[in-house]
Structure 1
């Protein structure tokens, strides 16, 4: 009697499988054109889009060219916004969302160079 092939070990929680195993080893998202990825990024805060850069080498700089930037108040500091804009290379911004509350506004007055740049 033949033994069944060994099961592939998974580090995924709850016995979840690697998605590429489910679709025959094909990673459909990574093969999307940059424009499509930019459209997907338009639905999430910029900080989330930036974190996708760790997913693959090809995605490392995709967020830099997305024409959509969003900085919600509870997730963005002036320093992180300044750092993000310094790395941003898109030729055109289609949508820019920046939430500024009183605390951020007062901090920006103390750090006027961030706002001016």
Structure 2
């Protein structure tokens, strides 16, 4: 590098952008698959614990306010340690529900839409 060989130049750096805090997640793909979690599920869970996900707006007169979906501790306080953030899948694991009895009930028509929704909500 030319600048490094020039004695008149001091404090050579290549990182000109301001430092930005970064959260690095150690994603173990095999364990995530067993738990039915994707990278997006983990990112969404972390986002709900850190700043929240904007899900809507409401107006007080002319003032616009954003509604955030946040994940908090049991007492309502902010989760301080990102290692303790609960991670949840966005979709239920339907493979765990597909047993022979359920498939048979679907084929014969003895199971209605409400029953399926209740089973999915329990997972």
Asked whether the two chains share a fold, i.e. TM above 0.5, the reply is: no
Report which of the two structures shows the higher radius of gyration computed on alpha carbons.
Answer: 2
With the length of structure 2 as denominator, give the TM-score of the two structures: 0.22
Higher relative helix content:
1
TM-score (norm 1): 0.23
Pick the structure with more strand per residue. Answer: 2
